[in-house]
Structure 1
Amino acid sequence: MAQVFPPYANTLARAVLLGAAALGLGGLGLLVALPFTPHVTRQDITIEQPVQFSHEHHAGGLGIDCRYCHTAVEQGRYAGIPPTDTCMTCHSQIWTNAELLAPVRRSLAEGVPLRWQKVHVLPDYVFFDHSVHVNNGVGCSTCHGAINRMPQVRQVAPLTMGWCLDCHRDPAPNLRPASEIFNMEWTPPADQAAQGAALVAHYGIRTEHLTDCSRCHR
């Protein structure tokens, strides 16, 4: 009987099957990994703003406190974006004709707010309250990084569910005294494990309920 398939047919068939399996597994792995890539998390991506405002200059060089611009951070869910009037309390006196600040002057003259682009974006189904965190020992730099060294703000943390849960399961390593919440240069002391545990008690944090679904999904 004549041979229908060439001798290498079995080898070719196995190679095709293995290739298809590898392609399928690779595609599945890509789908699993995709949510954790900067393309999705927006981590370390610089976003163009209507004015190239430098936190490095204002918060770092001039030492302006976060609360001067983000006035609602201690009382509300949102930290708040400063109105043009806040910018002009200084820039009506200094850099009054700087081209860089032309959009700010135009905003004031026309009464139209600057359209700042949000950098830290959470899904609509996630509830986050700034005041709860800053009033319970979580400093600005814990989530936002060294803002005082950023010419342009970028998101340094992934802000994924897993990242948030890591802190909610064990908040002690990230807690600091109330006096250090807005200190962008704060670093954990050598005995942070002991101090963090003490701060959990001081702030009255009930760790057994921090991972309840209703904490973040309401």
Structure 2
Amino acid sequence: MPQIFTATADTRLRAVLLLLALLLVAAVLFAGGYMQSSYATLVGWVQDQPVPFSHQHHVGGLGIDCRYCHSTVEVSEHAGLPATEVCMTCHSQLWTGAPMLAPIRRSLATGEPIRWQRVARLPDYVYFDHSIHIARGVPCVECHGRVDQMPLMKRAEPFQMGWCLDCHRNPAPHLKPPEQITRMDWTEWEKDPEAHRLYGALMMKAYGIEPSTLDDCSMCHR
């Protein structure tokens, strides 16, 4: 009876199976690494804007409160983006002929709103309400980082589900006095971790925050 397989067929089959296994492991590692990389999370990336607005100058230098431009953050699920009229409140008097502000002047003349590019964008299937977080004392810096140190706005956090769940499952360390939610520098506050822990525990009780309910799927996927 003629021999169907060569003497090395078994060796070649084993080599192919080993190669496939290695490729599968490499694919899994690559996918995991990619999801944690800045290419996927966009952490540290700057979005091109029609006007190079500097939070470092306006917030850090001039001390403008976040709510001056993001005026609906306390009452709506959306923080809101500044209308042209908000910009022109100051720039009708200051730097009126600056070339970089030409889009603002054109917007005012034509009535066409400025198309700002969202930096902290969540997927459409994720529900997030700014107002409830602000009301409970989650400050802007928790999600958006030290915008007062950003010449151009960039994403500070990954906004992935695991990152959100970490906070929902242990909210206390992230809670601050609601009247100070736009404060950027909490260095002095964090020098007393015990007081911070006690404050977080007290606010959890006062607001009736139950972490066991905050990681329910329907909380963010509605």
Match of 1:190 in 2: 193
Identify the residue that residue 210 of structure 2 maps to in structure 1.
206
CA distance in 1, matches of 2:127, 2:12: 54
Residues 131-153 of structure 1: CA deviation (Å, up to 9, x unaligned): 01011010000000001110111
Partners in 1 of 2:135 and 2:24 — Cα distance?
48
| Aligned counterpart, 1:86 | 86
Task: Tell me the distance in 2 between the aligned counterparts of 1:34 and 1:144.
Answer: 22
Alignment partner, residue 111 of structure 2: 111
| Whole-Å separation in 2 of the counterparts to 1:167 and 1:46 | 25
Matches within 5 A, 1:132-211: 132-187=132-187, 188=190, 189-191=192-194, 192-211=196-215
TM superposition shift of 1:44: 1.4
Contact 1:180 1:186 (8 Å CA) reproduced: no
Q: Distance in 1 between matches of 2:54 and 2:183?
A: 18
- Counterpart of 1:95 in structure 2 is 95
Q: 1:137–1:203: 8 Å Cα contact kept in structure 2?
A: no
Question: Structure 2 unaligned runs (5+)?
Answer: none
Amino acid across the alignment from 2:181? I
Aligned identity (percent) is 50
**How many aligned positions are there?**
216
Helix, strand or coil for the counterpart of 1:193?
helix
RMSD: 2.1
Q: For structure 1, which segment, 146-155 or 23-32, has the greater mean C-alpha deviation from structure 2 after superposition?
A: 23-32
SS at match of 1:185: coil
Moved more, 181-190 or 135-144: 181-190
Using structure 1 for the length normalisation, give the TM-score. Answer: 0.91
Distance 2:149 2:208 in 1: 33
Distance (Å, rounded) in 2 between the aligned partners of 1:58 and 1:81: 15
- Report the Cα offset of residue 12 of structure 1: 6.3
Q: Deviations over 1:30-80 (max 9, x none)?
A: 234433332222221111000000000000000000010100000000000
Q: Does 1:121 align with 2:121?
A: yes
1: CA distance, partners of 2:168 / 2:44: 23
2: CA distance between counterparts of 1:167 and 1:34? 23
Report if aligned partners of 1:142, 1:174 keep a CA contact under 8 Å in 2: yes
Partner of 2:70: 70
Matches of 1:149 and 1:34, distance apart in 2: 28
TM-score, normalising length: structure 2: 0.89
Query: Structure 2 CA distance, aligned partners of 1:94 and 1:79?
Result: 26
Q: d(CA) in 2 for partners of 1:39 and 1:32? A: 12
Q: Residues 54-65 of structure 1: matches in 2 within 5 Å?
A: 54-65=54-65
1:27-38 residue pairs with structure 2 within 5 A?
27-38=27-38
